[in-house]
Chains A and B, each alone.
Chain A
Amino acid sequence: MKQTPELDRYQHNMRPGGITLKGFLGKDRRSLNEILIDDDAEVRRLGTTHEAIAARMQSLRDAGKAGLGEPITVQQQYEIRVDDVRGKLPCPFEDAVVQKTFIQVKNIAQNQVITYTDLHIHMIKEHGFYEGHHSGFRLPPADLVSILNVPVSEEESTQIP
């Protein structure tokens, strides 16, 4: 797969001060194409799919909404807080405008916390995009799989313990 003019345009949308103050790429110098390919390989190495990761993020978000903006314990495993802030964010891939909802999930046993937004769920599900390295809002696939307990296929997974 090549870096197409279309990907160039999406990458331009991801610059700091475009859609968000900090942008989506951090100091990552790779092309968007390379970023997508590398994360796709990482997700396959972990034995899962972008869709499965997004589905898990979405189901935990839905469970956390019951807390009405306050933290709520879910399945005795997670403490989840879901809240909306004013406005919507357009997806840099130009296919959606998404409500600004932030979701904070604490895996109680691991004492690990991960924070994501509805836009992350959309970008992972539809584009396999987890943001660039060193972006403040990057979600490393391995962290998502581990903290959110995303189901993985042991046969396919080559994850290093």
Chain B
Amino acid sequence: MFLGLVVSVGAMCGISTVLALIMVAAESTIGNYGDVKVSINDGEKEIDARGGKPLLTTLKEGKVFIPSACGGRGSCGLCKCKVKSGAGEVLPTELPWLSDEERKDHVRLSCQLKVKADMDVEIEPELLYVREFRTTVVGLDDLTHDIKQLTLKLEEPDTIDYKAGQFVQIETPEYELTDEPVYRAYSMSSVPSNKHEIEMEVRLVPDGICTTYVHNHLKVGDTMTVNGPYGDFKLSNTDKDMICIAGGSGMAPLKSILYNMREKDIKRKATYFFGAKSKRDLFLLDEMKQLEKDLHDFRFIPALSEPQDDDHWEGETGLITEVVDRHTDDLSNSEAYLCGSPLMIDACIVVLKDHGMPEENIFYDKFA
């Protein structure tokens, strides 16, 4: 009986060992795609990597940054790029994000697509100039009760080239709200001529991973990693009258554009409508007044949707769409620059078109 027990235990151990060996072999063969090469924009840059990781990750490890707002979970649809070869079939997780035209054009969601063979990828040429920066927090100032101005000094590399209106992604490191680094996009409010520092305006979002970190955990002297610049929201090369509309931290890219206009002595007529709920949500009023003096023909019109009794507000009231409607006539030869909530932008586009503004003259940066 004892011998039988020993034989049984031995047999079980043998079977377990064989199964373990099979699993190890499977791990190193089935899941191992070997060395792969990712060629970008017809060989303008090439990345040698181990296969098996998502394309977005492989590109990032090769210092090629594609904007993504969801951390690679396939829920923002932002990290699209064209994969001309080596991609295989479109995955079910990509389908909600790709139109028929995009699928025909070999557009893929880079966070979902794994690199299993050599790939030929096409991305926006500007993205090849995106860099990762190590920075130090040199300013963290309250603009309102829920908006902070974050100022970062660039350490390595120590300069950045960007256009007024563009954005960067800042990395929130692991802390109590996240077990892994998370990236979020913020427009720069600083002037591009200052190549050593960038400013952002960060509004606290309830339970927001990145905004909670900036508002409640970050301190002057801390280091932060950012990458950028991104985006095509910038001043057009025309002399058309400008209608600017923003709310909350949507101030950031418009401030950058207006300050840049002052520096470059751009003499375009501009009217800036800024929407807030009550007086405590307004900020940079002195700076905007100064711009009214400095710019050629600039008017700043703040509007409160629900002014409080103790605000003693004598300015414009109502939703920003109503205020824009009241203050504008024919806009067929004007341009608009909008930044803020998608709800606000969509509503403003309707008003602007009602005043004759062609859709192609409306530029916007949605928080979406």
> CB within 8 A of A69: which of B69, B177, B342?
B342
A107 at the interface (CB under 8 A from B): no
Q: Which residues of A contact B180 (CB under 8 A)?
A: 21
| Interface check B47, CB cutoff 8 A | no
Central interface residue in B73, B77, B247, B319, by most chain A CB within 10 Å: B73
Q: A21-B180, A83-B341 are in contact. Are A68 and B75 (CB under 8 A)?
A: no
Contact of B341 among A68, A97, A115 (CB under 8 A): A68
Q: Is B341 in contact with A69, judged by CB distance below 8 angstroms?
A: yes
Return chain A residues, CB-CB under 8 Å to B342: 69, 83-84
A47 contacts the other chain (CB 8 A):
no
What total count of A-B pairs have CB within 8 Å? Answer: 98
A-side contacts of B46, CB under 8 Å: none
* Chain B residue nearest to A69 in the complex (CB): B341
Q: B77 is contacted by which of A19, A87, A136 (Cβ under 8 Å)?
A: A87
Closest residue of B by beta carbon distance from A64:
B343
On whether the beta carbons of B77 and A83 are closer than 8 Å, the reply is no
Whether the pair B75, A83 counts as a contact (CB closer than 8 A) is: no
Give the residues in chain A near B71, CB-CB below 8 Å.
Answer: 21
Of the residues B69, B179, B182, B247, contact of A68 by C-beta under 8 Å: B247
Give A18 to B273 CA distance when docked, in angstroms.
41
Flag the segment in A33-41, A70-78, A143-151 that touches B: A70-78
Please state if B368 and A104 are interface contacts (CB–CB under 8 Å): no
Q: Does B4 contact A (CB under 8 A)?
A: no
B368 & A86 in contact (Cβ 8 Å cutoff):
yes
Is the CB–CB distance between A85 and B78 below 8 Å? Answer: no
**B341 and A86 contact, CB distance less than 8 A:** no
Pick the contact of A100: B75, B319, B320, B343 (CB < 8 A). B75
The answer for the CA separation of A132 and B347 in the assembled complex, in Å, is: 37
Give, as a whole number of angstroms, the nearest-CB distance from A90 to chain B: 7
Cα-based distance from A71 to B179 in the complex (angstroms): 31
Q: Are B96 and A97 in contact (CB under 8 A)?
A: yes
- The answer to whether B206 and A68 touch across the interface, beta carbons within 8 angstroms, is no
The residues of B that contact A19 with a CB separation of less than 8 Å are 73, 75
Contact A86 B320 (CB under 8 A): no
Q: Which of A21, A70, A84 contacts B248 (CB 8 A)?
A: A70
Question: In chain A between 81 and 132, which residues have their CB closer than 8 angstroms to a CB of chain B?
Answer: 82-90, 97, 100, 102, 104, 113, 115
Residues from chain A with a CB closer than 8 A to the CB of B78 are 86-87
Q: Is the pair B343, A82 in contact by a Cβ cutoff of 8 Å? A: yes
User: Known contacts A73-B306, A136-B207; is A68 also within 8 Å of B76 by CB?
Assistant: no
A71 touching B368 by the CB < 8 A rule? no
Per the bound structure, the CA–CA distance linking A102 and B203 in Å amounts to: 15
Answer yes or no: B276 CB below 8 A from chain A CBs: yes
Residue contact B73 to A21, C-beta cutoff 8 Å: yes
Complex-state Cα separation, A65 to B321, whole angstroms: 13
Residue B175 is within 8 A (CB to CB) of chain A in the complex: no
B281 at the interface (CB under 8 A from A): yes
B-chain residues with CB within 8 Å of residue A84 when the two chains form the complex: 341-343, 367-368
Check if A67 is an interface residue, CB within 8 A of chain B: yes
**A97-B77 Cα distance, complex, nearest whole Å:** 12
CB distance B368 to A85 under 8 Å? Answer: yes
User: Which residues from 300 to 320 on chain B have a C-beta closer than 8 Å to any C-beta of chain A?
Assistant: 305-306, 319-320
Interface residues of B in 324-354 (CB under 8 A from A): 340-344, 347
Lowest 8 CB-CB distances: which A-B pairs, in order? A69-B341, A87-B76, A68-B344, A84-B342, A86-B368, A86-B69, A69-B344, A86-B76
Q: List 23 A-B contacts (CB under 8 A).
A: A16-B179, A20-B75, A68-B320, A68-B321, A68-B343, A68-B347, A69-B247, A69-B342, A69-B344, A70-B275, A71-B277, A83-B343, A85-B367, A86-B367, A87-B69, A87-B76, A87-B78, A87-B368, A88-B75, A89-B75, A97-B96, A115-B206, A136-B207
Query: What is the interface of chain A, defined by CB distance below 8 A to chain B?
Result: 16-21, 65-73, 82-90, 97, 100, 102, 104, 113, 115, 136-137
Further pairs besides A72-B305, A97-B96, A102-B205: 15, Cβ < 8 Å? A17-B73, A18-B73, A19-B75, A68-B319, A68-B340, A69-B344, A69-B367, A70-B248, A83-B341, A84-B368, A86-B367, A87-B78, A87-B368, A88-B77, A89-B75
